[in-house]
Structure 1
Amino acid sequence: MARGRDRISQLPADILDHILGFLPIKDAAKTAVLSSIWRDVWLSLTQLNFDHEFFCYMYKKHRHAIKYAKKSAVSLYVINKVLLLHNGTIRKFVLSFYNVGIRAIRSRSYDFDQWLLFVTKKGVEEIYIRFDKEAYKLPGCVFSCSTLKRLHLYGVVVEPMKFPCILPNVASLCFECVDFGPINCLDCAIDVPVLEKLSFIQCHDIFHFDITAPKLCSLTIEHCSSTVRGKFLPVSLDLRSISTLDLGGRLQGLFKEITSMGFQLNVEYLKLSCHHGFYTKSDGSSSVFVHLLRLCPKLGKLDINSFWFESSLTNCMDTLLELHAAAQTNKMLRTLKFISFEGSRSETLFIKDLLASFSTLEKVVIIREKRYCKKDSTGVMLELLDLPFASTKTKIIMV
């Protein structure tokens, strides 16, 4: 065993660092007692992952502490100690501060600010920050960090900014449960020059994040809402460069704003996770789904998750006719995927409508919900196959 350990110790430092990167940080720290080589690697670890597992370990280890706040203080002390002793570059920094009240978060904001200031000066390329409460205001050093390439923020507050360019080298940016204020204090949009992938998940008033992103190719908006009627998307965000669009939740407000832009999208891959009113008409106008198809004539791949179709679907002949008409403008749709299929009548009818409408379909994948009985799949497959498909090349796969 010792001989094998010695052979591992002889590996280059970057390989050892890569190995430790797969371990929880508490286990990576234990390797420091093996030898001076492992101690040096530990003190220069490029991935510092203070995640939920780390905090659970600390709370369990100090479970006899009288107050929960005291357990949190011990965890923060350990993080301070690790950062203080660290040498070299930090490529990835994860901080998931769980189960702590707003008062505790605010009282420790100075510590969090100092950690991020330290990390952003160490060549960090990826940051993931999570709080359960929207109480921590993210410092400006994160948005001005020149080495940062990926940023994921959960449960933080993003304050107004006074500079025209942010995140100069960030290609992937994700906001979850983020509280946005009027972020732009200037009279123009903020530029995020190399941003390629942008996600808003369960956020409010994302229109405050008014940016220009000339290289943006992937946009995700899931379960977001707006408190201002007629405002949803950032005004200056140009959607014409987007090839992948992922939408979830109630889409009516977002859809109206996209439609008002007056141009078609270049979306090739569309992902949808929708609620009531998605397919059938709700106010005398065409359905959201049909309008999205019309707006995406270059669509080649379509994923649909979480079916919420009304029982009156069988009476929506007008919607079906509109679906056929929309399909005539799309000659590129090759792949359909249905996720969380439960075998309901509405789901089956919807799939049949699509199969009968798109003449270019080649592959249809139906992924059953886990609770869906496998023996029912035969009946559904027979029902779907008992229909003249618009495309003779269509193959159905049910998993």
Structure 2
Amino acid sequence: MRRRNRINQLPDKILHRILSFLTTKEAVTTSILSKRWIHLWISVPNLNFTNITIDSIKSNNKFNESVYSVLASRDGAGYDLDGFHLDIQYVNHHFAYRRSFPHVVKWINIVVRRNLKHLNLNHDIDEPDTYDPERDAYLPQLPKSILTCRTLVSLKLSRFSVEGLLYVSKVEFGFPCLKTLYFDTIYFGCGRNFVLLLCGCPVLEDLQLLNSCQTLSSRQDSEAIQMFQSLTLPNLTRAEIMETLWSHFPLKALSTVKSLSLDTLKLNTHDQTDDEDDDEENPRQRTYIDIPIFHNLTHLKFKNSWGLVVQMLHHCPKLQSLELSKGSRHVREDELGNSAEEPELVPECVSSCLKTCTIRDIGGLQSELILPTFILKNARILQTMKVWSGWMQKKSEIEEKLSPCPKASATCQLFVY
């Protein structure tokens, strides 16, 4: 008796959903299964070119041809496209900058015409051991077609330069539907381009900036600085600003978030720039002058500057999770600021909301233990305190000093690693 092929009885919508979890190469191979599957892959709403390795001219040419073939098949059929995901590992950076990027730009120009909602472009490049400042010149310019793609819901990009936003039509430019924006190694020719881009994202919910952006200079563009300082992102729920070249992202624009990760050395709420003729005043002392109240914030991650922690905590009444890290940068005793002395006032979130606290990279400074001690003594519902030492030989010493510390929470567990 002939067994029925149950999967073939499923409607196209469900089969498209199944194929969406496959890479496009795998989806295309399903065309050999039966007559019904021959053209099924063409109407799948997502194209996923992931786990691609380019290690020779031959492999580069072969991959380019395969992408063009897939796009031509879809374009001829006239189907809309929900998502386009490109993830490539280049063994040689010359393959990326000189041979591949021009094709990537052409692919983008094709896919954004199909009511694209999700665009994810990632280039992982094996860079030479010696940094070459000229290589940034080879970063492909972000096509204007992306800047005018008003259907985008999520945009995740790595290794592009952004120029000429000033010359994009104000009528066409903007992302009225964009909720997720991830930038990694994005070069902005001028800070104004970045400001204009963010101002064009009125419903943004998730923002991640890594190794990206350029600074603004008051002597060059005071209007852009004013725009940036007045930036509002009312729907933002998550923000991560780490390892960026941006020196003064306004905290006010982040005030609605529930989860926040900050490299504090790169942020400044004061209406100043990084000009050399700034006040001689210590820049750490004019950072975070105007901290907004983070009414929704429950998870906070701070990197580098601990002197701002307690001041920030006073503005986070609902904070439940706190993570602190100095990173790989050595912090001097004087840089700990007020954290070198036990705070006089206990932030509301510490006494009534904080449940978990993680502190990384604690080393040889006695003042580094003041903050975890302060939290242990005052956090009444704290469940776990995790302390990671940057020096293994200090682990037992840290544990010996923190273990006897009075704990406001009877159920708190202390872990030292």
The verdict on a shared fold, with TM-score over 0.5 as the criterion, is: yes
Q: Which residue of 1 aligns with 2:174?
A: 166
SS state of the match for residue 216, structure 1?
Answer: coil
Task: Give aligned-pair identity as a percent.
Answer: 20
Aligned mate of 2:86, from 84, 92, 95? 95
Q: Which residue of 2 aligns with 1:195?
A: 204
Change (3 A) 1:262 1:139: same
The separation in 2 between residues aligned to 1:353 and 1:309, in whole angstroms, is 23
The separation in 1 between residues aligned to 2:367 and 2:9, in whole angstroms, is 58
Q: Which residue of 1 aligns with 2:132?
A: none
The separation in 2 between residues aligned to 1:89 and 1:198, in whole angstroms, is 26
Q: Which residue of 2 aligns with 1:274?
A: 303
Deviates more, 1:299-308 or 1:248-257: 248-257
The separation in 1 between residues aligned to 2:362 and 2:164, in whole angstroms, is 45
User: Unaligned stretches of 5+ in structure 2?
Assistant: 126-134, 217-223, 270-283
Q: Where does 1:254-293 land on structure 2 (aligned, <5 Å)?
A: 259-261=288-290, 263-266=292-295, 268-275=297-304, 278-279=305-306, 287-293=307-313
Amino acid at match of 2:177: N
Amino acid at match of 1:388: P
Whether the 8 Å contact between 1:24 and 1:54 is mirrored in structure 2 is no
Whether the 8 Å contact between 1:249 and 1:273 is mirrored in structure 2 is yes
User: Unaligned stretches of 5+ in structure 1?
Assistant: 60-67, 280-286
1:264-293 CA-to-partner distances (Å, cap 9, x unmatched) read 443523432523xx33xxxxxxx1223322
1:278-324 CA-to-partner distances (Å, cap 9, x unmatched) read 33xxxxxxx122332234344332133566697987xx896354435
CA RMSD of aligned residues (A): 4.2
- Post-superposition offset of 1:364: 1.6
SS state of the match for residue 195, structure 1?
Answer: coil
- Post-superposition offset of 1:329: 7.6
Whether the 8 Å contact between 1:245 and 1:267 is mirrored in structure 2 is no
With the length of structure 2 as denominator, give the TM-score of the two structures.
0.72
Amino acid at match of 1:271: L
Q: Which residue of 2 aligns with 1:142?
A: 146
Q: Where does 1:1-399 land on structure 2 (aligned, <5 Å)?
A: 3=3, 6-51=5-50, 53-55=51-53, 68-86=56-74, 87=77, 88-99=79-90, 101=93, 105=97, 109-131=101-123, 132=125, 134=136, 135-161=139-165, 162=168, 163=170, 166-182=174-190, 184=192, 190-205=199-214, 210=228, 212-226=232-246, 231-233=247-249, 238-248=253-263, 250-251=265-266, 259-261=288-290, 263-266=292-295, 268-275=297-304, 278-279=305-306, 287-305=307-325, 319=339, 321-327=341-347, 331-338=351-358, 349=369, 352-364=372-384, 366=386, 384-392=402-410, 394-396=412-414
With the length of structure 1 as denominator, give the TM-score of the two structures.
0.75
- Post-superposition offset of 1:198: 1.0
Whether the 8 Å contact between 1:341 and 1:347 is mirrored in structure 2 is no
The separation in 2 between residues aligned to 1:356 and 1:297, in whole angstroms, is 18
Whether the 8 Å contact between 2:300 and 2:319 is mirrored in structure 1 is no
Q: Which residue of 1 aligns with 2:276?
A: none
Amino acid at match of 1:181: G
The separation in 2 between residues aligned to 1:257 and 1:241, in whole angstroms, is 23
SS state of the match for residue 137, structure 1?
Answer: coil
- Post-superposition offset of 1:203: 1.5
Q: How many residues align?
A: 370
- Post-superposition offset of 1:201: 0.8
Change (3 A) 1:187 1:194: closer
- Post-superposition offset of 1:85: 0.8
Amino acid at match of 1:215: N
